[in-house]
Amino acid sequence: MKMKLTIELPDSPSRTSQVFVGRDTSAEFSEILASCLEDRVPYWIWDENVFALWRERLKDSAFPPIEPGRLIRFSASESNKRLSTLEELAAQLIALGADRASTLVAIGGGVTGDVVGFLASIYLRGVPHIQVPTTLLAQVDSSIGGKTGVDLDQGKNLLGAFHQPRVIWMDLQFLETLPPEEFRQGMAEVIKTAMIGDELLWNYLEAHTDSLKRRDSEALYEIVTACCRLKAKVVQLDEKETGHRRVLNLGHTVGHALERLSNYQMRHGDAVALGLVAATKLAVALGRIEAGDLMRLEKLCKAWDLPVRIPAGFTPEAVLAAMQTDKKHMRGKLHFVLPVRIGGVIDYQDIGLGQLGEIIGLLK
């Protein structure tokens, strides 16, 4: 069970990302890293929790050795996804001697990838980076495509850059130690991906819930590779999200608003699940999708204990106000992605806020 995928950008074929998916592939990663680095020096930035769980385990494998003085550990949480964290990490890199011949290696989940990717895009005006995603959410979504960013008080990922990683190495063994809550969050992005453009993946999710909950290797491989293929295809068509790539935002307009309103106490996957249900309810109201598809979505979310109703305390007015600072709000219009069927979406801009408020009210 191994897959290699190349994400090649048409406007710049030299800027490619190599995606590798497999299990127990430390030896392959060592070879990949040596080939990718050439004469560059790697500096490793780990989520400290992942480091505690995996560093000793990996010592017994063929995982690349980490030389003293090239390792940074940091607390990867949404509250630390800030400019101040970039400053702290950059200061540590300078102290360790990282220069323009360095490459940053991010090992952790989505926050780690977002922060280190953004840091790589601006450190000494830009150095390469490699992503080693260790959570389901990062493997199926955030590590692919070059989006990086940090949060502001006004919203998520409002500061960032597109900076494609040279290599994205995904080893399914990291998912063994992923807490059930974290695995559940990642499943929201898998469901989103299937809803966007992969009806076969959707059918697989409906038929293999039990094997996925057991974290069966073959089942994990199926969903991770399916998500990677779809996202790679979308990114190759529209790297900078000027058009088609916006479909990947399905569920995220409402989702990001809920995260912000909760002061990021609501987990990303839970927020995305609520956003998916909101978008699908709106699509039903507009006659864009069958009510039966909404029922299938809610059933699949419930199978993973993902919420389909907004908690008390989130008023429709507050959610609407939070969406006004979303980065998808442009020229007075809100780019709102709507599903039209299982495996198909449209980018819809003319959403009346009153109607959207009514839909959010129905999620109470």
Q: Is 40 a catalytic residue?
A: no
Q: Is 125 a catalytic residue?
A: yes
CA dihedral 158, 160, 162, 163 (to 10 degrees): -160
How far is 211 from 78, CA to CA, in rounded Å? 30
**Among candidate residues 129, 119, 178, the one with its CA nearest the CA of residue 149:** 119
Q: Which of 245, 260, 267, 327 is catalytic?
A: 245
CB 187 within 8 A of CB 136: yes
The CA–CA distances, whole Å, from 5 to 16, 227, 316 equal 10, 12, 42
Q: Is 57 a catalytic residue?
A: no
Q: Is 328 a catalytic residue?
A: no
DSSP conformation letters of 144-187: SS-EEEEEETTEEEEEEEE---SEEEEEGGGGGG--HHHHHHHH
Q: Which of 147, 192, 267, 281 is catalytic?
A: 147
Q: Is 147 a catalytic residue?
A: yes
Q: Which of 249, 260, 267, 328 is catalytic?
A: 249
Q: Which of 73, 81, 163, 256 is catalytic?
A: 256
Q: Is 4 a catalytic residue?
A: no
Q: Is 163 a catalytic residue?
A: no
The CA–CA distances, whole Å, from 188 to 134, 170, 302 equal 16, 19, 11
**Among candidate residues 60, 2, 21, 65, the one with its CA nearest the CA of residue 171:** 21
DSSP conformation letters of 284-352: HHTTSS-HHHHHHHHHHHHHTT---SPPTT--HHHHHHHHTTSTTEETTEE-EEEEEETTEEEEE----
Instruction: Give 101's strand partners.
Output: none
How far is 349 from 31, CA to CA, in rounded Å? 46
Q: Which of 241, 246, 267, 298 is catalytic?
A: 241
Q: Which of 81, 231, 246, 328 is catalytic?
A: 231
Enter the tokens of residue 343. 């495996």
Q: Which of 73, 268, 281, 328 is catalytic?
A: 268
For 59, residues 6+ apart whose C-beta sits below 8 A from its C-beta are none
> Three-class SS of residue 24?
coil
Q: Is 268 a catalytic residue?
A: yes
Q: Is 249 a catalytic residue?
A: yes
Q: Is 70 a catalytic residue?
A: no
How far is 255 from 356, CA to CA, in rounded Å? 14
How far is 84 from 89, CA to CA, in rounded Å? 9
Q: What's the Rg (C-alpha) of the chain? A: 20
Q: Which of 78, 182, 189, 259 is catalytic?
A: 189
Positions annotated as catalytic residues are 125, 147, 189, 231, 241, 245, 249, 252, 256, 268
